[in-house]
Chain A
Amino acid sequence: MSLDQDYLTYPWRRHGYDHDRYDWSMLAKRPPVQWPGGKSLAVWINVSLQFYPLNQRGVPFKVPNGMTMPYPDLRHYSLRDYGNRVGIYRLLEAFERFEVRPTFAINAQLAEQTPYLLERLKAQGGEFLCHGWNMDHLHHGGQGRDEEAAIVKRSVETLHRLTGQPIRGWLSPARSQSWNTPDLLAENGIAYCADWVNDDMPYAFATDSGPLAMMPLSTEIEDQFVMCQNLHSEDSWVEQVQDAFDFLLQESKEQGGRMLALSLHPWLVGQPHRIGCLEEVLAHITGHDEVWQAPAGEILDAFQSAGVRETR
């Protein structure tokens, strides 16, 4: 028994990466960046508003936090729906209190189904990211290009029509991508994507349809990752976010601008026993002179105008 000889050939073995999507660059070696007003740490707070269909197909995998029980899984369906009808309003109140300007990554279908919610989010003045069609329309390797292209187009166009805003940002459901996703995003006018979490700063990403920026929306301090995947307590989540903030703030003073990207889910942190923990986090990370809290689009604009945009 042996393997085909191809198994011992290494066509991409070279300096840099085994792909051409972006350049190899170590964060500490890059020229320092300064955020507007001489701030050192940019803080981006994103809220994901999600629709988990009851008739989940689970192609090619069951989305994390989706339906797990046999149909109809009223338990997870209604628990997730809680976020969009109850939890989000607790978050909005906290944002007003701490003067946070968040972004809202919303499933286009949810935006269509809940006009009240959409109007409320618009009134809050946030920037919208397209979060795909719904949590059961995953982008994935092996998916037909035409099928995916139709989903991207429909999602971005629907959200653009409903919000009246240019849709510049994208977050894939479950951050799942196909080989084509970045190309399709650029093709649909998307300026930045939040899926790849390989940096603490924005960076340039190559596509067939022109430039795309990656805005890494950290998974490691994301509420659902810490509490639902790692099963850490809400108190530990607070500590982890605060520690990340303190560290990045210090590093940003020593090495140049950094970005803290915090991802939130109203069905999770919007629960009565958790909302106080979010308030604790917001109290810790707001109100610093060195901190610039802004929506992702503004952070990207500042980054690109700072003239340090990486070139390929």
Chain B
Amino acid sequence: MKETLGAYDYWPYENRPKITWPGGARVAFWVAPNIEYYELDPPLNPQRKPWPTPHPSVPGYAIRDYGNRVGHQRQMALLDKYGIRGSVSLSVALCEHHPEIIEMCRERDWEFFSHGIYNTRYTYGMSEAQEREMIRDGIGTIHRHTGQKCAGYLAPALSHSERTLDLFAEVGQELFGDEAGLYTCDLFHDDQPTPIRLRSGRRFVSMPYSLEMNDTIVYAVNRVEPRHYLKMLKRHFDRLYAEGAESGTVMCIPTHNYQISCPHRIKAFEEALEYITGHGDVWVATGREIAQHYLDHHYDEALRDIDARAAAARRS
């Protein structure tokens, strides 16, 4: 077990090379709807219980199913209204269970990235070969059902191994070369994209996905009231927008249809979207678009700056 992750270097949030987004935007804004499938009777993992009560754990299962049966189309209508294409964090088994949802997203040219097979199957305890197989299944399933070459990864239920980022990048490259396996949403250490060091040496990006703005963390973990969530989203945006005048920042709202699409919460979410997209200098994009722009224009310069600072620190 490692004391530090070692996937990225210390890189202070001051005097970094300037990030310029398309059109000179200050903030790259993306919405990542998690479209998830939780199993009613998942097999047990030795390190994590899927449900808090003996199966069937009806309350938890039911509200998540509500998200797919009811909530999805509500959120989709809002994203349509504000000109946002979702970047879907997908439990890929949903392609088989609920292809209707996949089709609706496809029609709108939304992005799909892998969030594992089910949100009730964890990475813990897998061998490297097993994790590789799960990742391959995820990328392959998305391609088969949508034609997309999966660029991003968010490990199922945020369950990781020490190799997760390495494996995702490797499998993406094996399957689709430079078109897949470009970014991870699994790290929460920054408000800008950052280069990640992989064992393969491949260029790979950590995308800000903001756990702090994640509706499930906000509502279910931190027990925030809906209208206070709206305040938080506005404040988060305001600060990143102000700082974006100096160098481009990224804001992500990770959502779940069983949270923000509930009738008592959707108004707060809509007001946030209206507020954010009502600003001029905002680049409304998908995860892949932001990661690709960063790779094309800023990645190498960032890495040079990080290396130079590390060298200076070693000398001192």
A binding-site residues for B, Cβ under 8 Å: 53-55, 69-75, 77-79, 81-82, 84-86, 89-90, 113-117, 119-120, 231, 233-235, 271-276
Given A273-B233, A273-B235 in contact, is the A75-B158 Cβ separation under 8 Å?
A: yes
Chain B interface, >50% SS class: loop
- Name which of B109-117, B143-151, B221-229, B257-265 contacts chain A: B221-229
A-B contact pairs, 9 of them (CB 8 A): A70-B47, A74-B158, A75-B188, A85-B189, A90-B239, A119-B316, A271-B236, A272-B238, A272-B240
Residue B48, interface by CB 8 Å:
yes
Which range holds the interface residue count of chain B? Answer: 35 or more
Query: Could you tell me if B158 and A85 are in contact, using CB atoms closer than 8 angstroms?
Result: no
Chain A interface, >50% SS class: helix
B29 to chain A, nearest CB (A): 13
**A74 / chain B contacts, CB cutoff of 8 Å:** 5, 158, 160, 164, 186-187
Query: Could you tell me if B5 and A116 are in contact, using CB atoms closer than 8 angstroms?
Result: no
**B239 / chain A contacts, CB cutoff of 8 Å:** 90, 272-273, 275-276
Residue B296, interface by CB 8 Å:
no
A108 to chain B, nearest CB (A): 14
Cβ-closest chain B residue relative to A55? B1
Q: Which of B13, B48, B211, B313 contacts A85 (CB 8 A)?
A: B13
Query: Could you tell me if A231 and B223 are in contact, using CB atoms closer than 8 angstroms?
Result: yes
Q: Which of A55, A89, A114, A274 contacts B10 (CB 8 A)?
A: A114
Q: How far is B6's CA from A72's CA once the two chains are assembled, in angstroms?
A: 12
Q: Which of B3, B4, B223, B309 contacts A116 (CB 8 A)?
A: B309
Q: How far is B313's CA from A119's CA once the two chains are assembled, in angstroms?
A: 10
The 6 A-B residue pairs with the shortest CB-CB distance, nearest first, are A272-B239, A55-B1, A273-B236, A273-B235, A78-B189, A86-B13
Residue B212, interface by CB 8 Å:
yes
Q: How far is B188's CA from A271's CA once the two chains are assembled, in angstroms?
A: 11
A227 to chain B, nearest CB (A): 8
The interface bits of chain B over 230-244 (1 if a CB of A lies within 8 angstroms of the residue's CB, else 0) are 011101111110010
Residue B161, interface by CB 8 Å:
yes
Residue B68, interface by CB 8 Å:
no
Query: Could you tell me if B188 and A233 are in contact, using CB atoms closer than 8 angstroms?
Result: no
Query: Could you tell me if B313 and A115 are in contact, using CB atoms closer than 8 angstroms?
Result: yes
Query: Could you tell me if A86 and B187 are in contact, using CB atoms closer than 8 angstroms?
Result: no
Cβ-closest chain A residue relative to B206? A78
